[in-house]
Structure 1
Amino acid sequence: MTAFLNANQIKEQVSLVDMLTRLGHAPTHRSGKELFYKSMLREENTASFCVNEQLGVWYDHGGENRSGIKGGNVIDLGLAYWHPASFREVLEKISTLCNVDSLAPALDETLRNKRPRLAVADAIPVAPSYKINTTKELGTHPAISRYLQSRGIWELAQGKLKEVYYTVESNGRSKSYFSAGWQNEAGSWELRNKIGDKEFKACLGKKAISFIPGDPQHLVIFEGYMDYLSWIKDNPEATDSVLVLNSINLLNAGIAKARDFSHIGVYFDHDPAGTAGLEKLKQELPHAVDKSAVYEGYNDYNAKLMAEPVKRMPWEEDRVYENNVNLSAITAI
């Protein structure tokens, strides 16, 4: 993936408010269409760092910071915040922090080395388009099965996830991919897979929450679908309605959906974004209850599940033959 595509994706997918939340910063107040923060670029007592969420721009009305950048878009904020990191380093930091969806993984290194250098004007790619070729039940593609097994949710995912096969076209190039996926309320597919040693997250279509109806009074809320599936293992008989945000950036949509429920359990991540999201949710819905203590010591519910030792049947134990022989010898004495 080129730096140009990374930059375009970040501008389109990352909101300033979400990025600041993930960095652990919350606004002190709102004035009209603008949110005001205490500047994270320098020391100050009165909030003068301004964000216009609708326009996607920010401006620091206070003094100078180390970078000399006083305003701009989300990438400009990254350049100021992580100064003196390079442009590419900042793109990588924002992508990692905000889980920027990548519809097409980076080109193979060999192909990149063979590609002729393009002029800047020619290097800016058109937005990628996609086509869903087919969806299948789990168990068809061994790589998807291995990925779900590595997350500890293979059995839990049956009937809830699909294998999604799709094609992405960008800059005249077309390539086919596959991932595990589920649909959100917009009918789009949320995708998860593992490419090399990196987690792959993407959405084919419009980003939205996912809702599984159940008990009309009891609701449980998760940031991610893997956490929801992990919760099922500990609560196999639960009948609660389930709301998966698919991104903490969709918290407002989640709050609107949750207003109709009298009992709300919240399972957000143990990180700055999850903490800030919980605080905002409880401000809007004071009866919501933080349930994250169940995975205390882990970032999220799925991390706890993955850390649990795999239960093996007696015939699957290591050295089972030798152990049985030793046991027989002891019994015979």
Structure 2
Amino acid sequence: MNISEVKQIRITDFLQSLGHRPVKIRCGQYWYLSPLRTENTPSFKVNDPTNEWYDFGIAEGGGIIELAMLLYQTSNINEVLRLVSAQADSVPCSRSRPFCPLPGRIEDTMKNITVSPLNHYALLSYLHSRSIDTGIAQRYCKEIHYDLYRRHYFAIAFENVSGGYEMRNPYYKGCIRKKDISIIEYAAGGKQEHVCIFEGFTDFLSYQTLLKQNNAIVCVQGMCDHIIMNSVSNLKKTLEVLGEYKYIHCYLDNDLAGEKTTETIAGLYGIRVVNEAIRYIDYKDLNDCLRGKRR
């Protein structure tokens, strides 16, 4: 097999041929006990639709070739191709899946993109329905307009450090341009002792709303920086910027991905890390807490 053919092999089939079976499957996401290390709780995820994996314990991920390099402990591509091919040939059910190229990102087909201050009544109404203070949202967000398939659309836009925008409206959630983390500094050019970490910008806006309400959920009343991951898949990028902080407060979701992400951060930075999600343990995330929507 060549590189293109190996990439067509489903990672889930490849893992099964090696004796690894998922502990949990949900919405095309397969959770495993990591095949790369010893653990008791699954923290290795395979996104079957995109055929990509991510190990929250080591903050690494990629496709089947990157996985095979780690499993077989070699960076020699030819050796990796030989070993994966032999494994696929040894188990008929794990042969290459029929090639079906994934559709391009819908964001790549958007045209006439414009970014402006957040003022559209429909977007402000959506934020109000999520109990988010609209004044706070206008401080940190913009609105983005674009054409798609000859129709005009608009969404809330939240900028990341690479100049991309996380986009959200009642019917759509995505990212235009490059996916990356967002950093909100208390003072430009200088790091604070405290930093709070959020999975998405809705959580960050919810936190700011709770802060305005003097809610006990808020852990830091004074000077603090904020990091918005914009996806737990950005964990590695997040870890790279945490080293300068003395206190790290994790306000992630109360689900498996959020818990594993917090565990990984704590594994690297130890007692500097506080899992603040226990403050809203009866809720899935900060916005549900803000809205009083228990699980």
Residue pair 2:283, 2:293 contacting (<8 A) in 1 also? no
Match of 2:138 in 1: 158
**RMSD, aligned α-carbons:** 3.9
Q: Does 1:213 align with 2:185?
A: yes
| Cα distance between partner residues in 1 of 2:105 and 2:45 | 29
Q: What is the TM-score normalised by the length of structure 2?
A: 0.62
| Cα distance between partner residues in 2 of 1:251 and 1:37 | 13
User: 1:29 is aligned with what amino acid?
Assistant: L
User: 1:167 is aligned with what amino acid?
Assistant: D
The 3-state SS of whatever aligns with 1:132 is strand
Residue pair 2:194, 2:246 contacting (<8 A) in 1 also? yes
Q: Does 1:298 align with 2:294?
A: no
Match of 1:136 in 2: 117
In the TM superposition, what whole-angstrom CA distance separates every residue of 1:39-97 from its partner, at most 9, and x where no partner exists? 9xxxxxxxxxxxx94444568969x99xx642668x99xxxxxxxxxx9xxx9xxxxxx
Match of 1:146 in 2: 125
| Cα distance between partner residues in 2 of 1:38 and 1:221 | 21
Residue pair 2:192, 2:223 contacting (<8 A) in 1 also? no
In the TM superposition, what whole-angstrom CA distance separates every residue of 1:134-157 from its partner, at most 9, and x where no partner exists? 41333xx22212211111113331
Q: What is the TM-score normalised by the length of structure 1?
A: 0.56
In the TM superposition, what whole-angstrom CA distance separates every residue of 1:217-244 from its partner, at most 9, and x where no partner exists? 1100010111111112333444210000
The 3-state SS of whatever aligns with 2:132 is coil
User: 2:252 is aligned with what amino acid?
Assistant: F
> Could you tell me how far 1:296 is from its partner in structure 2?
1.1
The 3-state SS of whatever aligns with 2:34 is coil
Q: Following TM superposition, where does structure 1 have runs of at least 4 consecutive aligned residues deviating by more than 4 angstroms?
A: 19-23, 36-39, 56-62
Match of 1:268 in 2: 252
| Cα distance between partner residues in 2 of 1:101 and 1:303 | 29
Structure 1 pair 72–297 and aligned structure 2 pair: CA distance change class (3 A): farther
Match of 1:229 in 2: 205
| Cα distance between partner residues in 1 of 2:121 and 2:35 | 49
Residue pair 1:101, 1:202 contacting (<8 A) in 2 also? no
Residue pair 1:160, 1:182 contacting (<8 A) in 2 also? yes
| Cα distance between partner residues in 1 of 2:198 and 2:181 | 10
Taking the TM superposition and a 5 Å limit, the aligned residue runs for 1:161-200 are 161-168=141-148, 173-195=149-171, 200=172
| Cα distance between partner residues in 2 of 1:253 and 1:219 | 15
| Cα distance between partner residues in 2 of 1:288 and 1:38 | 23
> Could you tell me how far 1:128 is from its partner in structure 2?
2.1
Residue pair 1:179, 1:192 contacting (<8 A) in 2 also? yes
In the TM superposition, what whole-angstrom CA distance separates every residue of 1:5-25 from its partner, at most 9, and x where no partner exists? xxxxxx9xxxx9xx9996443
Name structure 2 gaps, 5 residues minimum.
1-9, 16-24, 38-42, 47-59, 69-83, 213-220
User: 1:289 is aligned with what amino acid?
Assistant: V
| Cα distance between partner residues in 1 of 2:111 and 2:44 | 38
| Cα distance between partner residues in 2 of 1:158 and 1:303 | 21
User: 1:185 is aligned with what amino acid?
Assistant: V
Structure 1 pair 175–221 and aligned structure 2 pair: CA distance change class (3 A): same
Match of 2:55 in 1: none
> Could you tell me how far 1:306 is from its partner in structure 2?
1.7
| Cα distance between partner residues in 1 of 2:96 and 2:264 | 26
Q: Does 1:203 align with 2:183?
A: no
User: 1:210 is aligned with what amino acid?
Assistant: S
Taking the TM superposition and a 5 Å limit, the aligned residue runs for 1:248-287 are 248-286=232-270, 287=272
Name structure 1 gaps, 5 residues minimum.
1-10, 31-35, 40-51, 77-86, 92-99, 104-126, 310-333
> Could you tell me how far 1:250 is from its partner in structure 2?
0.2
Residue pair 2:29, 2:45 contacting (<8 A) in 1 also? no
| Cα distance between partner residues in 2 of 1:192 and 1:137 | 12
User: 2:162 is aligned with what amino acid?
Assistant: A
Residue pair 1:186, 1:207 contacting (<8 A) in 2 also? yes
Match of 1:70 in 2: 94
Kindly, what percent of the aligned residue pairs are identical? 25
Match of 1:25 in 2: 32
Structure 1 pair 37–305 and aligned structure 2 pair: CA distance change class (3 A): closer
Match of 1:243 in 2: 227
The 3-state SS of whatever aligns with 1:273 is helix
